[in-house]
Amino acid sequence: MKPVVFSGMRPTGKLHLGHLVGALKNWVPLQDTHSCVYSIVDWHALMGEYEQSKAITSNVYEMALDWLACGLDPDKSVIFVQSDVPEHLELQMVFSCITPLGWLERNPTYKEQLREIKTRDLQTYGFLGYPVLQAADILLYRATAVPIGEDQLPHLELSREIGRRFNFIFKADFFADCNPILTETPRLLGFDGRKMSKSYQNAINLSDTPEEIRKKVMQMITDPSRIKLTDPGHPDVCQVFSYYKVFIGDKIKEVETCCTGAKIGCTECKRNLANILTEKLAPIREARAAWAAKPKNVKDILDSGAQKARALAQETMRQIRAIIF
């Protein structure tokens, strides 16, 4: 039996390059070696964005298009929407009985978000329990491998602790440890140099047109000490170069030599990058458009994914009830 992988993403809008290199590039090949369960976690989105709940529905659909376009394959993986499988909430309830408050209050991600996010009120019971639901997501499928970004490590650690505590309290050897599968690719910054994020509007989306990509690349910050074309550049401080590093692999030396040897101007260098990104994203954009033309098929995929997920989830809950009561 193949090991089970679980991962989820909050439907907060269109996917961008950060999601592609940070997550999906990892998720797609795992489909051939693992038994993969991928969920669009809309309850998690609600926890933070309950005041804009209506947007979640269209975001779920947009995310499904992006996932399918990137190569998540419903014939290989279980692809579904979290709220279609009520057992997630059932297991969350069980876990909430045994999770000490201190674990949640000490969670660094939680503390940071309370500190940083001022536009939404996150001082709620639900938001404190965000990692409890995440643990339920993973353990409901008895997953042992979780492809995630580094920022999610504290959450995964909590999932592991919650699973162990369940085993300890109910004297069962039921949940195995879940471990991260981290992506090697360095994190991409947004085209303004800040963290790439939908809320900063600084991301290149997977669905962007060539023209949109070009405009965004042109805004990237290059080596500020390079004023004239004849000034040698310092690629390591240039944002354009950091994108090259992620997207062209071997050919990176060429760009480096051209830059440090002042053989290329930044405008041309940016134009080249825009072309490379356009070319990389073309198949995704086309596949996305093809899926978008068949909304009924997308809906059917999510429905049948939910059925499969539900069958697995019900079996786990049956065993959990037998352990508890």
**Contacting residue, 26, 83, 92, 152, with ligand TRP by CB under 6 A:** 152
Query: How far apart are CB 47 and ligand TRP at their closest, in Å?
Result: 10
Closer to ligand SF4 by Cβ: residue 221 or 324: 221
Closer to ligand TRP by Cβ: residue 156 or 284: 156
Binding site for ligand SF4 (CB under 6 A): 222-223, 226, 233, 235, 238, 240-241, 255, 259, 264, 266, 269-270
**Contacting residue, 41, 56, 78, 240, with ligand TRP by CB under 6 A:** 41
Cα 170–Cα 176–Cα 177 angle in degrees, nearest 5: 110
221 token code pair: 């910050």
CB burial of 66-97 (b: ≥16 within 10 Å; e: otherwise) equals: bbbbbbbebeebbbbbbbbbebbebbbebbbe
Question: Which run of H or E residues covers position 4?
Answer: strand 4-9
8 A C-beta contact, residue 148 and residue 156: yes
Residues 252-271 that bind ligand TRP (CB under 6 A): none
**Contacting residue, 44, 142, 160, 216, with ligand TRP by CB under 6 A:** 44
Show the binding pattern over residues 168-187: x = contacts ligand TRP (CB under 6 A), - = does not.
--------------------
Q: Measured at CB, which residue is nearest to ligand TRP?
A: 8
Query: How far apart are CB 170 and ligand TRP at their closest, in Å?
Result: 22
Show the binding pattern over residues 91-130: x = contacts ligand TRP (CB under 6 A), - = does not.
----------------------------------------
Residue 264 interacting entry, from ligand SF4, ligand TRP, none, C-beta within 5 to 8 Å by type: ligand SF4
Question: Which run of H or E residues covers position 94?
Answer: helix 87-98
Cα–Cα distance, 136 to 126 (Å, whole number) = 14
8 A C-beta contact, residue 80 and residue 305: yes
**Contacting residue, 64, 140, 148, 301, with ligand TRP by CB under 6 A:** 148
Residue 243 interacting entry, from ligand SF4, ligand TRP, none, C-beta within 5 to 8 Å by type: none
* Residue 134 binds to ligand TRP (criterion: CB under 6 A): yes
Radius of gyration for the chain, computed over Cα atoms and rounded to the nearest angstrom = 22
Measured CA to CA in angstroms, residue 213 lies from 52, 53, 274, 277 at distances of 28, 29, 6, 8
Residue 259 interacting entry, from ligand SF4, ligand TRP, none, C-beta within 5 to 8 Å by type: ligand SF4
Cα–Cα distance, 12 to 239 (Å, whole number) = 25
Which is it for the CA torsion 316, 320, 322, 323, positive or negative? positive
* Residue 24 binds to ligand TRP (criterion: CB under 6 A): no
* Residue 77 binds to ligand TRP (criterion: CB under 6 A): no
Cα–Cα distance, 60 to 102 (Å, whole number) = 32
63 token code pair: 């995310």
Measured CA to CA in angstroms, residue 91 lies from 8, 94, 235, 303 at distances of 16, 5, 49, 21
Query: How far apart are CB 194 and ligand SF4 at their closest, in Å?
Result: 18
Query: How far apart are CB 279 and ligand SF4 at their closest, in Å?
Result: 18
Where do contacts with ligand TRP occur on this chain (CB under 6 A)? 6-10, 41, 44, 134, 137-138, 146, 148, 152, 155
